[in-house]
Structure 1
Amino acid sequence: MNEAVHPAPASLSQAEAFARIRLLRSPHIGPVSYAMLLARFGTAVDALDALPEMGGKSGRQYRAAPVEKIEREVDGVRKAGAKYLFHDQPDYPDLLAQIDSAPPILTCRGNLSLAAKPCVAMVGARNASAAAVKLARDFAAGLAEAGFTVVSGLARGIDGAAHEGAMPATIGVIASGIDIAYPPQHSDLQKRIAQEGLLIAEQPPGTEPRGSHFPSRNRIIAGLAGGTLVVEAAIKSGSLITARLAGEAGREVMAIPGSPLEARSHGCNHLIREGAVLVQSPDDVLELLSSFDGAPRSSFREQAVQFDFEPEELAEADPADIASLLTTAPVSVDELVRQSGQGAASVQLALLELEIAGRLERHAAGKVSLK
């Protein structure tokens, strides 16, 4: 086993750290199923032992990620000058840990203490106007000077301006592996963030960014911050996805208004109409987030009531019979609990078995469907 799995909590052995990486990289395992497997079996080592039986319920043989593949990944993290950050390490960001789909394992380069400071996410159009780029840079500089860390996604336009304005008090969250620069024209900026700020990736090293990676990256951006500010964005843009995710996480959603004649302002104006807080200066953002107590003024998205359960319940539960309630149309887990009359832990265990067998797909806002 490669000894580069480092650092890990004092109570986490090298074998368990390696098993956690292997568990998360195994077929049909995502953040939600990973967390449930650890809750049910206690360790990743034991969860890996149980996977063949759980995955075999579909009638197909289940194989976890090959050991050799994980050894190559760990070596790639070491060669990139990065380190693993596990969900239960002291340095794991508190706000990020609170979202439902918090990434169980991240790879990082740079100053992790930046994530422990108050954070604000800044996002916006890639093809941003010159005025919006300057505005983003000025806002970021003002927020950084006031003691905030500015989080963004290293995209062209607003993201890049936000990173540059806040440097070195900035976190870049990328949709690729920690060793892949994207977009290529931000290679120098990404390197500088890794050296002076903090660079975070969820994907394994060597992973080129794909379309499906960007919404996943956006949830990390929103999850790290007490609030998300959209500077300039069209109606259909990834920035609005980030804003929605921030709202679902119970964080502030803010937007800078723009002219109704400018298509790149329509997204911000739409957010404000839907309940985002209108801001016009860094002081407006500071006022909102400095007094943030977990109850956002923005009403962009209400949080759904959820049926919670304790981890020990999952360890003792039997899977509920919910197959007849599921179709290819997404439905909330809460609705499945209501209609089945079964306990939340039993329903979640049944969903977990379906997911590992490759029959379940998880959607935003806690919804699930059959594949």
Structure 2
Amino acid sequence: MGELSEAERRDWLRLARTENVGPVTFDQLVQRFGTAAKALAALPDLARRGGRAAGLKLPTDAQVDKELADGATLGARLIASCEPAFPQALAALDPPPPLIWTRGRVDLLDRPCVAVVGARVASAAGQRFARGLAAELGQNGHVIVSGLARGIDAAAHEGSLPTGTVAVLGGGVDDIYPPEHAGLYARIAETGCVVSESEPGRAAVARDFPRRNRIISGLSRAVVVVEAELRSGSLITARLAAEQGREVLAVPGSPLDPRAKGTNDLIRQGAALCEGAEDVLRALEGLRGFREPERGGYASGPTPDPDDALRREVAALLSPTPVSRDEIVRATGAAAPAVFAALVELSLAGRCELLPGGMVAAG
């Protein structure tokens, strides 16, 4: 697909901001109906069939107008996953975020990127290492991606400001957190790029950070974790990177330092050891000539409507533990398109959650 028209962009935005419509549901709806407009028209009936009594909350025209106006005021750009300007690496995710807001140099997003992430309460040595690693990788032609957080993230951004850095935010593209990074944010917006999946003006909440981490890893060919405790968002980023087929590297540390437990565990699980930029460059050598899969177009196709019996059977098979959608298909013995359609209807009704990677759980 090429650039969306203004009407199509509004439809994509409205569908993406609809209650219970995450990236997986969005992707399934647009594939099934061909356009966001047709999907929007079908939503009330789909949610009702999924078992929802009250109507879905769809954004009003005024809310869509406000989001677009807020973005324009910031000088930010809204890019849909079907458009040529959408980063190729991110478009190849299954599924990609439907839309991203960007502020700054969008061209950086299609250059070879490496994520450098780690602890917020980082040691001075860890911050020095991250700053130097980012600087050297930048000098070797790589854009550094991180999350603007305290500690390792900030050090990685500072080291790569002269060569190109990308900050991915959990809140809106103008949500500067922590507040003391206002100066760093301003420099990134001017010479690098700021990216967010959320609407401008939104303050990040806890559930936004896994989505933010998925974009960090999705933009990158490799993720380097410098310091991380065992229960750390950086380890989530590393796990997502591995699931996305990216290289994962970790910096070893003293077993006496809790901030090394996460990185040492990553190495124990098979992550490559990183003692400097040469280790990252060596890992990326195997990706020379690497090309992301071509982005898919959206085309409607024949999708059988699930009947009530299939919906009930699918709902009964779900539990809080995520399972593959293919397992649900196998258990029902029904056609995969019909099962996927039933899952979309249940998700719109709030009765199940469609997760990236083809997983599904009870809502």
Give the TM-score normalised by the residue count of structure 1. Answer: 0.90
Counterpart CA distance in 2 for 1:9 and 1:110 is 22
- In structure 2, the partner of 1:135 is 129
2:115–2:146: 8 Å Cα contact kept in structure 1?
Answer: yes
Which residue of structure 1 aligns with residue 346 of structure 2?
354
Contact kept in structure 2, 1:109 and 1:200, CA below 8 Å: yes
Alignment of 1:261-276 (within 5 A): 261-276=256-271
Q: What is the CA–CA distance in structure 1 between the aligned matches of 2:302 and 2:72, rounded to whole Å? A: 35
Q: 1:138–1:217: structure 2 CA closer, same or farther, 3 Å change rule?
A: same
1:224 lines up with 2:216 in the alignment: no
Structure 1 residue 118 and structure 2 residue 112: aligned?
yes
> For the residues of structure 1 that align with 2:157 and 2:285, how far apart are their CA atoms?
21
Which residue of 1 is the match for residue 190 of structure 2? 195
Runs of 5+ in structure 1 lacking a partner? 1-7, 296-308
Equivalent residues in 2 for 1:75-224, closer than 5 Å: 75-168=69-162, 169-224=164-219
Partners of 1:73 and 1:336 in 2: CA distance: 38
Contact 2:120 / 2:152 at 8 angstroms: preserved in 1?
yes
> Aligned residue for 2:7?
15
Tell me whether 1:367 sits opposite 2:359 in the alignment. Answer: yes
Alignment length (residue pairs): 350
Alpha-carbon distance in 1 for matches of 2:112, 2:172:
26
Q: Percent identity?
A: 45
Post-superposition offset of 1:344: 2.5
- Per the alignment, do residues 148 and 119 of structure 1 end up closer, same or farther by CA in structure 2, a change over 3 Å counting? same
Equivalent-residue separation in structure 1 for 2:269 and 2:252 (angstroms)? 13
Q: Partner of 1:31 in structure 2?
A: 23
- Determine the C-alpha separation between the residues in 1 that align with 2:55 and 2:126: 53
Partners of 2:26 and 2:357 in 1: how far apart? 18
Which amino acid in the other structure matches residue 273 of structure 2?
Answer: L
The structure-2 alpha-carbon separation of the partners of 1:161 and 1:241, relative to structure 1 and needing over 3 Å to count, comes to: same
Task: Mark the CA change 1:179 to 1:54 in structure 2 (over 3 Å): closer, same or farther.
Answer: same
CA–CA distance in structure 2, aligned partners of residues 319 and 310 of structure 1: 25
Greater relative CO (CA pairs within 8 A, separation 6+): 2
CA distance in 2, matches of 1:259, 1:164: 25
CA deviation after TM superposition for structure 1 residue 47, in Å: 1.1
- Give per-residue Cα distances to partners, 1:281-317, cap 9 Å, x unaligned: 101101111331699xxxxxxxxxxxxx997685433
- Residue range with higher mean Cα deviation, 54-63 or 193-202: 54-63
Residue identity matched to 1:338: R
2:249 corresponds to which letter in structure 1?
A: M
Whole-angstrom distance in 2 between the partners of 1:127 and 1:234: 10
The structure-2 alpha-carbon separation of the partners of 1:294 and 1:323, relative to structure 1 and needing over 3 Å to count, comes to: farther
Find the partner of 1:239 among 216, 221, 234: 234
| Distance in 2, Cα, partners of 1:312 & 1:88 | 11
Question: Residue 287 and residue 166 in structure 1: after superposition, are their counterparts in 2 closer, same or farther (change >3 A)?
Answer: same
Tell me the amino acid that sits aligned with residue 5 of structure 2.
S
Please state if 1:344 is matched with 2:336.
Answer: yes
Whether the aligned pair in 2 keeps the contact of 1:128 and 1:157 (CA below 8 Å) is yes
Deviates more, 1:353-362 or 1:106-115: 353-362
Pairing 1:44–2:36 present: yes
Q: Could you tell me which amino acid in structure 2 is paired with residue 29 of structure 1?
A: V
Asked whether the 8 Å contact 1:110–1:196 carries over to 2, the reply is yes
- Tell me if structure 1 keeps the 8 A contact 2:146–2:153: yes
Aligned amino acid, residue 196 of structure 1: T
One-letter amino acid of the structure 2 residue matched with residue 91 of structure 1: A
CA-to-partner distance for each residue in 1:232-267, whole Å, 9 max, x for gaps?
111110000000000011111100111111111111
Deviation (angstroms), 1:335: 1.0
Per-residue deviation, residues 120-143 of structure 1 (Å, max 9, x unmatched): 111000011000100000000000
Give the match for residue 306 of structure 2. Answer: 319
Answer yes or no: is the 8 Å Cα contact 2:77–2:102 preserved in 1: yes
What is the letter of the counterpart of residue 96 of structure 1? L
Query: In the TM superposition, what is the alpha-carbon distance from 1:356 to its structure 2 partner?
Result: 1.0
**Alpha-carbon distance in 2 for matches of 1:125, 1:62:** 39
Amino acid at match of 1:257: P
Indicate the RMSD between aligned Cα atoms, in angstroms: 2.0
Once residues 294 and 237 of structure 1 are traced to their aligned partners in structure 2, the CA distance between those partners, rounded to angstroms, is 33
- Counterpart CA distance in 1 for 2:42 and 2:101 is 26
Give the unaligned 5+ runs of structure 2: 291-295
Tell me how far apart the structure 2 counterparts of residues 117 and 269 of structure 1 sit (CA, whole Å): 30
Amino acid at match of 2:190: Q
Matches of 1:216 and 1:312, distance apart in 2: 26
**1:305 alignment partner in structure 2:** none
Aligned partners of 2:362 and 2:298: how far apart in 1? 25
Tell me how far 1:324 sits from its aligned partner: 2.7
Give SS of 1:177's match.
coil
